Structure 1
Amino acid sequence: MAAAFTTLSTTETLKTEPWKKPWWHAAGRDISILLWVCLIHITAAIGLVLYPIPGWRIFLGAVALVFLGGLGTTVGYHRAIAHRALRLNPWARGVLIFLAMFNGSGAPTTWAAGHRLHHAKADTPEDISSPRWGGFWWAHLRWLWQAGEPPIDRYCPDLSGVSYRAWRWFQTPILALSYFGGLYFSPAAFFWLGAIRLCFGLHAQCFVNSVCHTEPGIAVGEDSSRNVKWLALMHLFQGENWHRNHHARPGSARLGWSWRQPDAGYALILALEKLRLATDVRHGTPHGRADSDDLIVKAA
C-alpha cells in the first residue's frame, strides 16, 4: 500500500541508505503507512486468538475478498496501469482500482510509479525494493514506509488525469471500510474480513519483492527475479509468483507461460477481452521478442 501524503521522494531517501536506519524510522509523513501496518498486524493477532475458527461462511468470505483484491492488483494495477499490457474499459478499470485499494494496495499512481521505478533500476542501489541492498525485511515490508514516495511525475506522466489521481482522496475511506466493514456481520467477521485478510493480502504481495528476488548466484546489477512455485497457492493462482517470466517480458499481459503455470489474472483478461471490456491486450509468448515499456525506459 502507499500513504495518502508523503514529503520525501524516493531519490532523496535512497541516497541516505534508509535500510541502515531502525525499522521504525519513516520517510517524511510515511509514518501513516507504518502505523497502518502495525494496526492490521496487532488486530489480526488479537483476532486469531479470539476467533481462531471463524466458521466456514466467514472464512470463505475472507478468501473471496483476498481473491478479488488480488485480481484488482495484478490485472488493474500491475498489468493494465503499470505496464499498459492491456487497455481497460473505464468502468472495469474503476472496479479493479477499488478492489486493489480495498486490498490495501494504495493509490494507483503511487503503486505504478514504484513498480516502474523497480523495473527501471532493478537490483541496483536505486531499486525501491531490492533485497540485494536492504535485505529480506527491507524488500518485504520496510521499504513501504522508509523508501519515500516514488517520483510520480517522472514515472507516470500518462497517469496525470483526474481519473487516476483522484483515487488518492478516496484511499482513507476505502481503507476504513476495508478494516471495519466486517463489523456489520459479527465480531469474528470484523477480524477475518478485515485485519486478518489485509495482513494475508499484504504479505502475499510483498513476497514478490522479497522471495521472488532471491535467485542465488546472480552478480551485482543483474536481474535476480525468479519463479516461485509454492507462492502460487498464497496468490490463489493469479500468476504473480511467475516473476522471472514477468521480468523477461514485462509488457506482456500473460505471466504464466503454460498450463503448468496457472495464471487466473490472464484468464480474467481473456474474459474481459471477450466482453469487450479490455482491448489492445498484449498476448506475450515465451518465445517471442522481448517486450519493453517505453515509459520505464524514458524515465530511467
Structure 2
Amino acid sequence: MSILDFLAHGLTGSPTWLVIAYFFAVTQLTIFGTTLFLHRSAAHRSVEFHPLIAHVFRFWTWLTTAMVTRDWVAIHRKHHARVETEEDPHSPVAHGIWKVVFHGVTLYQEAKKDREMIMQFSQGLEDDFIERKLYAAHPNWGPSLMFFINLALFGFIGVAIWAFQMLWIPVMAAGVVNGLGHWWGYRNFETDDRSTNLTPWAFFIGGEELHNNHHAYPSSAKFQLRRYEWDIGWSVISLLRRLGLAKVLRIAPTLHVRPNIQLPDAETLKAAMTVRFELSKRYFREVIRPTLHDELAAAKRAGIRLSGRLRRGIASDGRWLSNEQREAMETWLATRPSLATLVEHRRRLNEILARTSKNAEERLEALRAWCSEAEASGSRALAQFAADLRGWSLAPQAV
C-alpha cells in the first residue's frame, strides 16, 4: 500500500458501509458514556456499573470529548441546584436560547474556570491514579489519540469522522439537550424550571431527550416515565444489569392510592412531597383545566380571547410570565371567581409542600386543613382530588 492509498483510504479501505457504521457506533458510544457514566452514575448516583464497564466509559469520554469527569459532574450538579437562575451555568432563561444552543461549549468552559465551585459540587467522585495523572491532567491527549486512530483506519475520511465526533457532544448535549430541552417540547411534570421532553422516543441522544422527566426525578436511572416513552439509555442499563454489570440504585417513585383513608397521614405527606411536580400537573389536568376550558369558551363567545402565553401561565401559576403578563392573568382570573378559587387552592397546596415551609407536623396539619377546605369548596373536581389525595402513598420500589 502506497502512502497516497493509505491517506486516501486508511487501513480498512474505507468502504461506505463501514464508514457509516463506524461513525454511528463511535458517536453513540460517546453519548452512552456521557448519559450513563457521567450523568446517571457519577453525577446522580442512580446506577453503579461494574468497574470494568465504568472504566470503559471513562476512557471513552476522555478519548472522544476531552471532558474531565469532575468538571462535568460539578457543572451539571450546579445546573440542578441553581436551575434557571443567573447562577445556572447553561440556562436559556438566564443566557438566552441561541447562546446556549450555539455557544454551549463556551458556557461550559467559562463555568469550569471556577475551581471553588468545581470542588464544592463534585464531592464523592473517584479520584484514582489514572484520573489524576492522565484523564484530568491531560484531557486533550484523548481527542489527539482519536485523531490518529481515525486517520489510520480511514485516511482523510477518518479526519472528517473525527471532526464530527468532536462536534457531537457540543451540539447534541450542550446545544440540543441543555438548550432546546429547556425551551421547546412537552412537559409531563410542572417542575420549578422550564425543562421539556423533546420527544417520547429518546433513542438518538441516549435518552436525554426526556429532559423534563429527568428534572422531575433527577436521581432516577430511568428516564421513561410514561407507557408511550422509550429511553434507550435505560434499555442499555437493563441489559447490563441482566449481565451482572450494572446495579440500579434508584428509579422514580410510583404512586399508590389507599382506599378509605379519612385523614392525610405521614405517608400521604411523604408521597405528595416526593411527587409534587406530578401532583401539580395532575391538579391542573383534573381540577383546573375543565373549568378553564369552560371559561375560555364563554370568553370566546363574548369576543374576549386569552393569549396562549397567559393560558400556559395559568398552567404554571404564572411562573415564567413577566410582571405585566402576570398582572393581566390575575386581572382575568379576578373576574372568574370559580376558576380563581381553584388556582388559589393550588398555590396554597404548593406552599404547603415546598420543602422550605414548616416542619413535618405543621405541614401535615396544613395539608389536612387544605383537604377539608377543598372538599367543602363546592367544586366537585376539587373535592374528588382532595379525597384521592388523602390516600396517596408511595408504592414499594423494586429496582
Tell me if 1:175 matches 2:143. Answer: yes
Q: Which residue of 1 aligns with 2:121?
A: 155
Question: Which among 279, 290, 293 is matched to residue 247 of structure 2?
Answer: 279
In structure 2, runs of 5+ residues without a counterpart are 1-13, 257-270, 276-354, 356-399
Shift of 1:84: 0.2
**Measured at CA, do residues 234 and 269 of structure 1 come closer, stay the same or move farther in structure 2, by a change above 3 Å?**
closer
**Measured at CA, do residues 103 and 66 of structure 1 come closer, stay the same or move farther in structure 2, by a change above 3 Å?**
same
Q: Which residue of 1 aligns with 2:165?
A: 197
Shift of 1:105: 5.8
2-structure distance, mates of 1:103, 1:230: 28
Q: Given residue 175 of structure 1, which amino acid in structure 2 is its aligned partner?
A: P
Question: Which among 115, 122, 140 is matched to residue 83 of structure 2?
Answer: 122
**Measured at CA, do residues 182 and 239 of structure 1 come closer, stay the same or move farther in structure 2, by a change above 3 Å?**
same
Mean Cα deviation higher: 192-201 or 80-89: 192-201
Tell me if 1:145 matches 2:115. Answer: no
Q: Point out which structure has higher relative CO (alpha carbons under 8 A, 6+ apart).
A: 1
Q: Given residue 225 of structure 1, which amino acid in structure 2 is its aligned partner?
A: S
Mean Cα deviation higher: 73-82 or 250-259: 250-259
Q: Given residue 197 of structure 2, which amino acid in structure 1 is its aligned partner?
A: N
Equivalent pair of 1:65/1:193 in contact (CA under 8 Å): no
Shift of 1:199: 1.4
Q: Which residue of 2 aligns with 1:44?
A: none
1-structure distance, mates of 2:126, 2:154: 41
Q: Given residue 178 of structure 2, which amino acid in structure 1 is its aligned partner?
A: N
Q: Which residue of 2 aligns with 1:96?
A: 57
**Measured at CA, do residues 63 and 135 of structure 1 come closer, stay the same or move farther in structure 2, by a change above 3 Å?**
same
Question: Which among 242, 259, 268 is matched to residue 236 of structure 2?
Answer: 268
Shift of 1:103: 3.2
Cα deviations by residue, 1:141-191 (Å, 9 ceiling, x for unpaired): 230233343522211121263265452124222111223321102334323
Shift of 1:126: 0.4
Tell me if 1:209 matches 2:175. Answer: no
SS for the counterpart of 2:222 is: coil
Equivalent pair of 2:203/2:230 in contact (CA under 8 Å): no
2-structure distance, mates of 1:212, 1:182: 32
Q: Given residue 211 of structure 2, which amino acid in structure 1 is its aligned partner?
A: H
Equivalent pair of 1:117/1:127 in contact (CA under 8 Å): yes
Equivalent pair of 1:71/1:100 in contact (CA under 8 Å): no
Equivalent pair of 1:69/1:102 in contact (CA under 8 Å): no
Q: Which residue of 2 aligns with 1:224?
A: 194
2-structure distance, mates of 1:168, 1:119: 23
2-structure distance, mates of 1:126, 1:54: 48
What fraction of aligned residue pairs are identical, expressed as a percent?
A: 26
> What count of residue pairs does the alignment treat as equivalent?
235
The TM-score with structure 2 as length reference comes to 0.53
Equivalent pair of 1:87/1:278 in contact (CA under 8 Å): yes
Mean Cα deviation higher: 118-127 or 100-109: 100-109
**Measured at CA, do residues 260 and 189 of structure 1 come closer, stay the same or move farther in structure 2, by a change above 3 Å?**
farther
Q: Given residue 59 of structure 1, which amino acid in structure 2 is its aligned partner?
A: I
The TM-score with structure 1 as length reference comes to 0.70
**Structure 1 consecutive aligned stretches of length 4 or more whose deviation exceeds 4 Å:** 163-166, 285-289
**Measured at CA, do residues 114 and 181 of structure 1 come closer, stay the same or move farther in structure 2, by a change above 3 Å?**
same
Q: Given residue 214 of structure 1, which amino acid in structure 2 is its aligned partner?
A: W
SS for the counterpart of 2:85 is: coil
Cα deviations by residue, 1:13-37 (Å, 9 ceiling, x for unpaired): xxxxxxxxxxxxxxxxxxxxxxxxx
Shift of 1:285: 4.6
Mean Cα deviation higher: 239-248 or 190-199: 190-199
Shift of 1:255: 0.9
Larger Rg: 2
**Measured at CA, do residues 287 and 58 of structure 1 come closer, stay the same or move farther in structure 2, by a change above 3 Å?**
farther
Mean Cα deviation higher: 57-66 or 75-84: 57-66
SS for the counterpart of 1:279 is: strand
Q: Which residue of 2 aligns with 1:35?
A: none
2-structure distance, mates of 1:64, 1:267: 16
2-structure distance, mates of 1:124, 1:259: 33
1-structure distance, mates of 2:99, 2:15: 33
Shift of 1:196: 1.6
Q: Which residue of 1 aligns with 2:67?
A: 106
